[in-house]
Structure 1
Amino acid sequence: MAIHRSKSSQRSSPEVERLVADSISLAASGSQVEDRFWEGRLDERLLRLLKSQNQNAIDAALDQTFRINTIAFEVLADAAETLAESIRIEHDGQQWDTLLLAIPIVAHTRYQIPSGPLPTTVVQATALALHNTVTAVDSRLAIVPWLYSIDQMPQSHCQTRVLTETLAMAAVTGSDIKLELRDMSETIAVLADPRFIVAVVAAPTGSPLFRWQAETPLRQERGVSLIGWQNAMHDPIASLLPGCEFELLLPEAYFTNCRLADKHVRPLSIRAAVNFLESTIGVLPAGLSSVVGAFGEEQADEYRISFSIKGSSEINYGVIWPLYDRESVANDALNDLSDDESPIKRICDALRDAGVEDVFRHAMLFDPELCDDCGAPLFPDRLGEQVHAEMPEDTPSQQPLFH
């Protein structure tokens, strides 16, 4: 899924150069008339790449613009996401606008968060709740009968476009969804993680997709829709997630909600880790120490957070706090707490909110190393070494890492 910064190794090509140039031109435009010209040209190039499944060129252009012009990066990222998650199709002489939705459930547990096939009753309840609380009166829906983990979602703009096309046709025509769901990858077991229901909403071109787009008296504000959605879906989702606490977010556009869900789960992962350590090894939050370090090849792509018993050098647990396309940290500000919106400030606030008072912050950028034997991420200790997180030997059972 194109929510993390990509790391394309492709050398610059004519397609990449044209994407970068058009994005910079659009970012510098001084009028809506000029905007429309550059948007049309950029969309044409991107659509050609999406249809040919040339994700490498899109990733390379995103990498270049991210390095040289952040406004152009935003322009290109928005255009690529829009074309991947929305299409216009014609059926029986009628034009339809369609949008891929990610419907997040942010969950945490001391056991395991399920994923997999959705019962027909839950699919029906989801459709009814969407129609009654979120989508516009004349809209149509297609819902994938699967509860996705983030690892099972489309991992690129091109893959997302293919899914959008399939669901859009099913929504508009009322036909069956033709997806192969039997070969889904296994879900990585973590105790704080989002789950998603994926759907497409379709409406006649020029008509609203959502209730908050409608005119009075059909208009309904987002906050009202969210409350209605949460009330309608609490019991169906609770039946899917036994032993889990969860929060339902408002159904919205695919890429926006994927980022939003992962941002919601980051502080929750820290709290869940602290709760787990307290229940497993019997150490109160105030008895824990934490080490925080930024990781990435050239710039920070994530922070890794280590946990140990206060006074011990052994790292017992680790949490990853990923950064996203619209989050960047200068290499000389990795440890800067002066900005309330900075990732390191949010991490430290989340640790202290969870009761961990002893927090050590590294100012250096670490290479993102993994364990050679098991592939697990390594976490920083106070000396700046990357080590494997290991629970004490007398711990009842080893649990998976949070992320």
Structure 2
Amino acid sequence: MAVHRTKSSQRASPDVERLVADAISLAASGSQIEDRFWEARLDVRLMRLLKSQNQNVIDAALDQTFRINTLAFEVLADCAETLAESLVLEHEGEPWDVLLLALPIIAHTRYQIPSGALSTSAVESTAAAVHQAIASADTRLAIIPWLYSIDQMPHSHCQTRLLTEALATAAITASEIKLELREMSETIAVLADPRFIIAAIAAPSGTPLFRWQAEPPIRQERGVSLTGWQNAMRDPVSALLPGCEFELLLPEAYFTNCRLADKQVRPLSMKAAVNFLESTLGVLPAGLSCVVGAFGEDQADEYRISFSVKGSAEVVYGVIWPLYDRESVSNDALNDLSDDDCPMKRITDALRDAGVEDVFRHAMLFDPELCDDCGAPLFPDRSGEAVHAELPDDAPTQQPLFH
């Protein structure tokens, strides 16, 4: 999905330059009337690219603005995401507002997190819970009968727009969802990962989509809606994810919730790794040591965390903590702990919450190396080398991966 950083090698084309210039102009605007002018310009350019499935130009413009003007990047990313996940569709002479929703489930387990087709009863339970706790009056809904893993989600703004268009028609007209679900990619086996139900919600233009937008007596605060959603979906999700612990996030706009779910699962990945090593090696969390390093070509794109048994230099396991579009770390602050929101602080806090106290932090930027033989990511050891993470020979041979 288009929530991860892109590394575009495309040279700046006129389309890229125009997108970048308009985004910078919108970011510098000092009034709403000027905002609307630049937004309209950007919308026209972006919609033309979405319709022609020209994702490369969008990615190149995002990459360029990210490097030169972070505020312009935010502006451009917001515009692209809005056009990909929402639209206005006319039906029987009346306009309808449509928004693509992601319904995240943050799960972790010692076994395997299921994904795949949803039964009719699961779809019906989800629809009933959305209407009961989330949706405003006079809304219509279309739910894809599939429980998505992150690697099965749309991977670009263009793909997301196509999905939004398909679901918009199905929601408004109560018709069949025309999607090919039989050739989904295989799900990578991970023990801490989000799962998603994807839906589209539609309402007559100008009327509320959500209960927190509505007037009394329909109106309720987001927190009340979240509690109602969690209560209504507890049993259906328990049936979908046997043997898993999970948390339900509030159904919201697609890109916002994809980012939120990805971020929420990162500390759970630490907990899942520690639990796995405890059950596999019989080592308590206090008996583990961790090494944390930032990896990327020019800037940090992710942090990799190595796990070792205390007193040994051998890396027995590794976890990746990815950074997303709206997160950045300067190369002179890669191991900074002074800001509660900086990645290194969040990583060390997550490790300590999982019971690991011995954490060594590298200040250097590592090359994002992979193993030449198996393609697995390499992880930092205490001496500053990137090495293969390998369990001892007498450990179970089936190794789960972590997000």
* TM-score where L is the length of structure 2: 0.99
CA distance in 1, matches of 2:30, 2:129: 43
In structure 1, the partner of 2:327 is: 327
CA distance in 2, matches of 1:381, 1:358: 13
Superposition map of 1:92-171 within 5 A:
92-171=92-171
Q: Does residue 316 in structure 1 map to residue 335 in structure 2?
A: no
How big is each residue's C-alpha offset from its partner over 1:266-315, in whole Å with a ceiling of 9 and x where there is no partner? 00000110011011100001100000000111110100000010111111
Aligned AA (1:311): G
Aligned AA (1:210): F
In structure 1, the partner of 2:53 is: 53
Q: What percentage of aligned pairs have identical amino acids?
A: 81
In structure 2, the partner of 1:175 is: 175
Deviation, structure 1 residue 217: 1.7
Aligned AA (1:267): P
CA distance in 1, matches of 2:218, 2:147: 31
In structure 2, the partner of 1:73 is: 73
CA distance in 1, matches of 2:296, 2:40: 35
Aligned AA (1:61): A
Q: Work out whether residues 270 and 319 of structure 1, in 8 Å CA contact, stay in contact via their aligned partners in 2.
A: yes
Q: Work out whether residues 317 and 401 of structure 1, in 8 Å CA contact, stay in contact via their aligned partners in 2.
A: no
CA distance in 2, matches of 1:221, 1:273: 36
- The SS at the match of 1:160 is helix
In structure 1, the partner of 2:358 is: 358
How big is each residue's C-alpha offset from its partner over 1:121-142, in whole Å with a ceiling of 9 and x where there is no partner? 0000000000010011110000
Aligned AA (1:358): D
In structure 2, the partner of 1:187 is: 187
Deviation, structure 1 residue 216: 1.6
In structure 1, the partner of 2:373 is: 373
Superposition map of 1:260-279 within 5 A:
260-279=260-279
- The SS at the match of 2:250 is coil
In structure 2, the partner of 1:386 is: 386
Aligned AA (2:222): R
- The SS at the match of 1:217 is coil
Aligned AA (1:301): D
Deviation, structure 1 residue 329: 0.1
Q: Work out whether residues 334 and 363 of structure 1, in 8 Å CA contact, stay in contact via their aligned partners in 2.
A: yes
- The SS at the match of 1:154 is coil
Q: Work out whether residues 391 and 398 of structure 1, in 8 Å CA contact, stay in contact via their aligned partners in 2.
A: no
CA distance in 1, matches of 2:339, 2:120: 47
CA distance in 2, matches of 1:203, 1:398: 48
Aligned length: 403
Deviation, structure 1 residue 40: 0.3
Q: Does residue 234 in structure 1 map to residue 255 in structure 2?
A: no
Structure 2: runs of 5+ lacking an equivalent: none
Q: Work out whether residues 295 and 365 of structure 1, in 8 Å CA contact, stay in contact via their aligned partners in 2.
A: yes
How big is each residue's C-alpha offset from its partner over 1:43-70, in whole Å with a ceiling of 9 and x where there is no partner? 0000000000010000000011011111
- The SS at the match of 2:154 is coil
How big is each residue's C-alpha offset from its partner over 1:194-232, in whole Å with a ceiling of 9 and x where there is no partner? 000000000000000000000122101100000000000
In structure 2, the partner of 1:247 is: 247
CA distance in 2, matches of 1:86, 1:299: 32
CA distance in 2, matches of 1:136, 1:391: 52
Deviation, structure 1 residue 95: 0.2
- The SS at the match of 2:4 is coil
CA distance in 1, matches of 2:141, 2:194: 22
In structure 2, the partner of 1:289 is: 289
CA distance in 2, matches of 1:189, 1:29: 46
In structure 2, the partner of 1:196 is: 196
Deviation, structure 1 residue 400: 2.1
CA distance in 2, matches of 1:188, 1:262: 15
Aligned AA (2:165): E
Structure 1: runs of 5+ lacking an equivalent: none
Aligned AA (1:227): T
Aligned AA (2:91): H
Superposition map of 1:15-94 within 5 A:
15-94=15-94
CA distance in 2, matches of 1:117, 1:96: 29
Q: Work out whether residues 292 and 380 of structure 1, in 8 Å CA contact, stay in contact via their aligned partners in 2.
A: yes
CA distance in 1, matches of 2:200, 2:48: 22
Aligned AA (2:346): R
Aligned AA (1:95): P
CA distance in 2, matches of 1:317, 1:300: 21
Deviation, structure 1 residue 234: 0.6
CA distance in 1, matches of 2:82, 2:298: 28
CA RMSD of aligned residues (A): 0.6
Deviation, structure 1 residue 397: 3.0
Deviation, structure 1 residue 386: 1.1
Q: Work out whether residues 191 and 402 of structure 1, in 8 Å CA contact, stay in contact via their aligned partners in 2.
A: yes
